[in-house]
Amino acid sequence: MNGQELNELYAVIADRKANPKEGSYTNYLFDKGLDKILKKVGEETTEVVIAAKNTDPQEVIYESADLLYHLLVLLVEKGIPYEAITEELAKREGLVSKTTDRPEIDNL
Ligand SMILES: N=c1c2ncn([C@@H]3O[C@H](COP(=O)(O)OP(=O)(O)OP(=O)(O)O)[C@@H](O)[C@H]3O)c2ncn1[C@@H]1O[C@H](COP(=O)(O)O)[C@@H](O)[C@H]1O
């Protein structure tokens, strides 16, 4: 992916939805609809699990990339902005630091 970040991939996927491109696998998924996208997310999740039980880390990397791509397709299909996920993660980071960086909380 040549250094392309996940948010850039999200933008490409969102652009495919807005401006369909001939031969695009992403558009093939959007045309098939939500159930097909959900099936792919389920399949790719299972493939990550199976790969992780094997010894070759390259397989885990490959299947994880497939899963992340399909998850981003799902977010675009559901109209959920990429930032909604990063903001949710940032909120959790805040929660973690509240409970780990403030020892006085341990005494409550
Ligand atoms: N990152 C990906 C990406 N990861 C995985 N895939 C596709 O996901 C599919 C996964 O393989 P499978 O064998 O599970 O699926 P399949 O048999 O091809 O298809 P199904 O009939 O099962 O749906 C493959 O066809 C991959 O090409 C991806 N397709 C596109 N992208 C990126 O998405 C962007 C838009 O690409 P296009 O939609 O092709 O224009 C570009 O940046 C691409 O690099």
Per the domain annotation, does 46 fall within a domain?
yes
- Ligand 1 neighbours by CB, cut-off 6 Å: 9, 12, 16, 21, 24-26, 40, 66, 69
Per the domain annotation, does 104 fall within a domain?
no
Domain limits for position 61? 6-81
53 alpha carbon to ligand 1 midpoint, in Å? 24
Task: Report how far residue 83's alpha carbon sits from residue 91's, in angstroms, rounded to the nearest whole number.
Answer: 12
| Tally of helices (H runs) and strands (E runs) in the chain | 5, 0
The alpha-carbon radius of gyration of the chain (Å, integer) is: 18
- Whether the Cβ atoms of residue 59 and residue 51 lie closer than 8 Å to each other: yes
43 alpha carbon to ligand 1 midpoint, in Å? 13
Per the domain annotation, does 60 fall within a domain?
yes
CATH number of the domain that 75 lies in? 1.10.287.1080
105 alpha carbon to ligand 1 midpoint, in Å? 47
Query: Is residue 107's pLDDT more than 90?
Result: no
Per the domain annotation, does 99 fall within a domain?
no
* pTM of the complete model: 0.88
Mean pLDDT of 56-61: 96
pLDDT confidence of residue 76:
98
Structurally, the chain folds into a number of domains equal to 1
Per the domain annotation, does 107 fall within a domain?
no
Whose Cα sits closest to atom 15 in ligand 1? 40
pLDDT band at 98 (very low <50, low <70, confident <90, very high): low
Closest CA to 25 of 34, 8, 37, 11: 37
